[in-house]
Amino acid sequence: MAKMTDKERKNLLKLINILKENPTGLWIRELSRQSKLHMEISRRLIQKYPQIFEEYADFTPYKINLKLIKLKNENISEKNLDLAIEL
């Protein structure tokens, strides 16, 4: 896996911190709004790091573009982020 850039790390930590405050999860649009990141950036980070995030509800089969996201491990922090993504 390619080395994580500082900007990517900062954005990833934004998403993680918001999801820690919302342990039941959020949909990508709301996660992006709260983190002030473009929805595509949030979506890419979630897809790039499946070891951190999980989609626990996907309504696309019902023609509703909504996926709920939560953390796989709520104990993840900035200190153990590298270990969590196996760098």
Per-residue pLDDT of the chain (87 residues; tens, 9 = 90+): 557 889 999 999 999 999 999 998 999 999 999 999 999 999 999 999 999 998 877 666 777 767 789 999 888 888 888 887 775
Q: How much is the pLDDT for 71? A: 93
CA distance 74 to 67: 19
CATH number of 6-84: 1.10.10.10
